[in-house]
Chains A and B, each alone.
Chain A
């Protein structure tokens, strides 16, 4: 049994950023464990640009973003244990990990940061009927095949779901010589960034079919085509609109799910909406001394926010190690109308790690202009005008300690505003 101060599970951008920040804050003993043979997480396969605009003020590719953090971590003396999978986690912060070199590694940690990332939703999760032939891939798996292994998953492709990974893969596969027939999205709006729709689809004349879905998969051995159909307002397929599209591959880009098997094992409370742990102002889960950040906490669209959040978790660990795990009461933070969730789900204002508290939230539907209200038991304490909110783009706002002093609850509400109203604050 090894004794460690801080163990970080997962060496993606969340884990690495947290490690770097923890060292900067003076935590001596930081160990990052990752099951892959290289750190960097999912960024290793995201070779396109679009990372780091907020943090580095320049547009980097995924591998570049990762490498900057790997170098920093190495320079600061962070230990990274690779090819090692954590298979057990207990509520008293014991970890069992496995690798081929040492066999089982048992660790007792003072503090733990969960940074295990997420996995992709599959066909089963969305129940598409039809055969189960070869040629159905999640977009992320296809991305790995193309960008890491150098193999083409198919020649003629239909993509279900307009999430960014699917859009990015539409362009990548087109550049590699495949024919992307269309991207099919069940919602009336796309889940991807406008920029990706323009540069990944419009640039290559790939049709984006909104309010459509795949209703059948054909082919017994290999995909031979899919049937797509328009959906009505209840998202039920209108079978009269069904059409057959020949293809040899179906890519699924239908969402990500935080990877919380270990968290459940440790008895950590999970939020049904985010799929990740319930956390407080310092991103500590319901189990004292275990923190969470990145995609394991909630699915992010921007890696920059992952880094910000991870740094917050590192500050949380520092304050936990400093106060010796003192117990605090929390006030609840809830999402009202117009929002799917707000994070953290509870806070203690006195124990905030800085002068300002970051809140992350996602809206329930796209709105051109919307007003975000923050309510306490005393009524609205803050409101902000936001433009162009989309469920796929996270909203992040900061509230100061002064504003929050003495409140007993917080509720966030997002209301659509008419076009006429100009900025009135």
Chain B
């Protein structure tokens, strides 16, 4: 086995079995996936190893000093979560706001919108 082989462990969350999946990577390519009980697990593990994605939920400031809960409308790369939250720390929203309204676009350059998760009059 060459020295560039990397082993990663992923806990599958697709179903309650919670399989511990082992992924072997060589030269940036996945060469083996084991420990999963089904194909969905393999797909999940592949994304987790190559480009894990998460929905970010946080709050932004309202002009009235209160907090507005928000989320990204789609998952964004896990690696960009901290960048996204930093970018959002400067955002101030003027009420009224409707649930689902976009309050920020293209967060951290992902092309994903950030939407309000509640209304505020």
Contacts and interface: CB of A to CB of B under 8 A. Distances in A.
Chain B interface size, as a band, is: 20 to 34
Most buried by A among B54, B57, B81: B57
B11 interface: yes
Given A147-B69, A175-B82, A388-B18, A48 B13 contact: no
Given A48-B57, A64-B118, A388 B69 contact: no
A50 B117 CA distance: 13
A37 to B, nearest CB: 12
B108 to A, nearest CB: 13
Contact of B71 (A49, A150, A198): A49
B54 A203 contact: yes
Looking at chain B's contact residues, the main secondary structure is: mixed
A198 B59 contact: no
Contact of B11 (A49, A147, A198): A198
Most chain B CB neighbours (cut-off 10 Å) among A147, A194, A388: A194
Interface string A187-220: 0000000110111001100000000000000000
Interface string B89-103: 000000000010000
Q: Chain A at the B interface: mostly helix, strand, loop or mixed? A: helix
B13 A49 contact: no
A64 B98 CA distance: 11
Given A49-B55, A175-B85, A194 B117 contact: no
A64 B18 contact: no
Given A194-B11, A198-B13, A387-B17, A175 B71 contact: no
B50 interface: no
A199 B53 CA distance: 10
B23 to A, nearest CB: 14
Interface in A19-72: 47-49, 59-61, 63-64, 66-67
Interface string B45-86: 000000010111111010000010101000000100110010
A60 B118 CA distance: 11
A318 B100 CA distance: 35
A148 interface: yes
Contact of A147 (B52, B67, B85, B119): B67
B27 interface: no
Nearest to B69: A47
B117 A61 contact: yes
Interface in A192-250: 194-195, 197-199, 202-203
Interface in B14-45: 16-18
A67 B120 CA distance: 11
Nearest to B78: A203
Contacts of B52: 203
B81 to A, nearest CB: 7
Interface string A7-23: 00000000000000000
Interface string A304-340: 0000000000000000000000000000000000000
A380 B4 CA distance: 58
A388 B57 contact: no
Contact of A202 (B11, B69, B82): B11
Contacts of A393: 16
A67 B119 contact: yes
Nearest to A390: B16
Given A150-B59, A197-B11, A387-B17, A63 B117 contact: yes
Nearest to A193: B13
Contacts of A388: 16-18
Contacts of A176: 85
Contact of A67 (B58, B71, B78, B118): B118
20 contacts: A47-B57, A47-B58, A49-B55, A49-B71, A59-B55, A63-B99, A64-B99, A64-B117, A66-B118, A175-B58, A175-B85, A194-B16, A194-B18, A197-B11, A198-B13, A203-B78, A387-B16, A387-B17, A388-B16, A393-B16
Given A61-B71, A198-B11, 8 more contacts: A49-B55, A64-B99, A149-B67, A175-B56, A175-B82, A194-B11, A194-B16, A387-B16
